[in-house]
């Protein structure tokens, strides 16, 4: 049985990814940091095991991945955001955004790669954001972190392709999850008007894209950024 590790598996997108992977035959390690109840409840309903670690803490990441053993698929999905003008964001918060969104992605990838390289197979899928492609006002640190994830995806894909490992990125548009819980109804109406397809994305839209990129149907695809955004960024 193939094994997958999904960081932020306790969240909106992450839990949908875990469910879809389990439905498609994976044993899923569901990473969480603070949402223990959600992770344990999910583990009860799928073929999954909850694993607590903070992706920004390299030692915890390494210890956790030693305990899971071989990982066939890593989905770097953990992320946080903060909506504020660049000069108003608390510097500690800005550091946390980079440390979780970008360094967390690097930490987890670095931890699973030796085994993948040894086995000459493996798939890494990074969850970036359309704001990493085009930049968002009032989400500057977040946009920078996600642009970093996109650059990381392209560079690592080139480096590890000769070892039979594929590295791709999904760049979601506006997906209805807790991350967007602070938007008012009026904000949501205006955001929807900017989405050419006129609908918000669902966590399942992202999960289906993860499943495709993880599968052999994507065996000739690496280093790519798949926009799943209803046409908002083209």
Q: Which residues are catalytic?
A: 142
Q: How far is CA 79 from the centre of its chain?
A: 7
What's the closest the beta carbon of residue 178 comes to ligand NAP, in angstroms?
4
Instruction: Tell me the number of residues near ligand NAP by CB under 6 A.
Output: 30
What's the closest the beta carbon of residue 218 comes to ligand NAP, in angstroms?
19
User: Applying CB under 6 A, which of residues 4, 5, 12, 75 lies at the interface with ligand NAP?
Assistant: 12
User: Applying CB under 6 A, which of residues 78, 109, 168, 222 lies at the interface with ligand NAP?
Assistant: 78
68 is a site residue for ligand NAP (CB under 6 A): no
Residue written as tokens 């109406």? 189
Residue written as tokens 């930049």? 135
Q: Which two tokens stand for residue 54?
A: 């903070």
Q: How far is CA 6 from the centre of its chain?
A: 8
Residues in contact with 114: Cβ distance below 8 Å, sequence separation at least 6, in sequence order: none
Q: Which of residues 139-178 bind ligand NAP (CB under 6 A)?
A: 172, 174-175, 177-178
- Please say which residue, 99 or 163, places its beta carbon nearer to ligand NAP: 99
Contact at 8 Å (CB) between 225 and 153?
A: yes
Task: Print the binding letters for residues 34-63 with ligand NAP: x by CB under 6 A, - otherwise.
Answer: xx------------------xxx-------
233 is a site residue for ligand NAP (CB under 6 A): no
CA-derived radius of gyration, the chain: 17
Q: How far is CA 221 from the centre of its chain?
A: 18
What's the closest the beta carbon of residue 120 comes to ligand NAP, in angstroms?
29
- Please say which residue, 13 or 116, places its beta carbon nearer to ligand NAP: 13
126 is a site residue for ligand NAP (CB under 6 A): no
Q: What is the DSSP string of 47-110?
A: TEEEEE--TT-HHHHHHHHHHH---SEEEE-------S-GGGS-HHHHHHHIIIIIIHHHHHHH
What's the closest the beta carbon of residue 215 comes to ligand NAP, in angstroms?
20
The crossing angle, in degrees rounded to 10, of helices 203-214 and 12-23 is 50
17 is a site residue for ligand NAP (CB under 6 A): no
Residue written as tokens 């598996």? 9
What's the closest the beta carbon of residue 156 comes to ligand NAP, in angstroms?
17
Chain residues in the site for ligand NAP (CB under 6 A):
7-8, 10-14, 31-35, 54-56, 77-81, 100, 127, 129, 172, 174-175, 177-180
């Amino acid at each position: 049985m193939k094994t997958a590790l999904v960081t932020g598996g306790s969240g909106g997108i992450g839990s949908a990814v875990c469910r879809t992977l389990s439905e498609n035959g994976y044993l899923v390690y569901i990473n969480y940091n603070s949402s223990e109840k959600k992770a344990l409840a999910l583990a009860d309903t799928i073929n999954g095991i909850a694993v607590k670690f903070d992706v920004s803490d390299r030692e915890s990441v390494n210890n956790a991945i030693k305990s899971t053993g071989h990982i066939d698929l890593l989905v770097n999905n953990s992320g946080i955001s903060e909506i504020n003008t660049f000069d108003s964001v608390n510097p500690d918060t800005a550091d946390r955004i980079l440390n979780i969104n970008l360094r967390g992605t690097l930490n987890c990838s670095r931890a699973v790669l030796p085994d993948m390289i040894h086995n000459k197979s493996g798939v890494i899928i990074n969850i970036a954001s359309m704001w990493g492609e085009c930049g968002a006002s009032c989400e500057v640190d977040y946009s920078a972190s996600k642009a970093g994830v996109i650059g990381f995806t392209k560079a690592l894909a080139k480096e590890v392709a000769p070892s039979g490992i594929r590295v791709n990125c999904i760049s979601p548009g506006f997906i209805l999850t807790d991350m967007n819980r602070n938007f008012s109804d009026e904000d949501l109406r205006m955001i929807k008007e900017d989405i050419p397809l006129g609908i918000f994305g669902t966590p399942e839209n992202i999960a289906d894209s993860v499943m495709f990129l993880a599968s052999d149907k994507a065996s000739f695809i690496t280093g790519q950024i798949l926009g799943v955004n209803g046409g908002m960024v083209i």
